[in-house]
Amino acid sequence: MPTSVQQGRIDRNSKLPYYAQLKRVLEDEIAEGHWKSGDLLPTEADLCTQYGVSRTVVRQALGELTSEGRLYRLRGKGTFVSGRKLNEQFLSGTLGFFDDLEAAGHSVRNLVVRCQLESSHDEVAKNLGVAPGTDCVKLERLRYVDDQLIAFMHSYLPKDLDPHLLERLKRFDFEHSSLYRFLEGASGVRIQSGARSVRAVVADEQLGAVLQVPVGSALLHVSSVERDADGRVIEYSESWHRGDRADLQLQVTRRP
């Protein structure tokens, strides 16, 4: 993190508002590597002094960068650089975020939090197509991309998918592989189609602690139902993606 910033970066004769100029300067500093992901920015007072602008200008510039996910704030600690957002493809022709990100050249790993039998509540039962209270296998994972925590995922699978499903899941190395690879390799199950939905949510205390973000931070909640070629439900999943570290890109085509 730089200890000083060059003066004279704000053009007093420009028609561009000071806050917009400062925002551009800060974006350039991040792009040029002067501030890296996780770096703590100078205080508002220091930025005022370094750039010769008012606190209102600084706050507006930082606010826009925060709303765009380039920065994030921790109460009592300051403003930090989020770094480059990941573009997670959300296409009709792809199935696994793990495989998409790895194919794009990112380092991807999973940390299994929990893997156990669980009685399915109403929402899970409805999406799996089973009666409420039916046992299913629940797999919880944290996903890291390029050593940054990106998402928290819950996967629910029908217990009768494989008589040894739970034991095989517990033995599988999810750190460097995906659930879809496990299903195809260990259980011979191939996912053929899926339906996904995305909505904006905010982090509660539990999600904030797990994803290491302040309560109230923006998250993307993705729910998905995956099926095999016969239309049988293979997996119902929910995932919460950090809004400051990930973009979901959607591609649509017009039906004939």
Within its chain, how far is the Cα of 172 from the centroid?
23
Nearest to 87 by CA among 145, 14, 174, 24: 145
Amino acid at 204: D
pTM for this one? 0.65
Quick check: do 18-81 and 86-250 share a fold? no
Domain 18-81 has CATH 1.10.10.10: yes
Tens-digit pLDDT profile for residues 24-43: 899 888 878 788 877 889 99
Domain covering 86-250, topology: Chorismate lyase (3.40.1410)
Q: Give the pLDDT score at 10.
A: 85
- Domain positions in the chain are 18-81, 86-250
Residue 99: which residues within 8 A CB-CB, separation 6 or more? 178, 180, 181
Mean per-residue pLDDT of the chain = 83
Residue 70: which residues within 8 A CB-CB, separation 6 or more? 27, 30, 81, 82
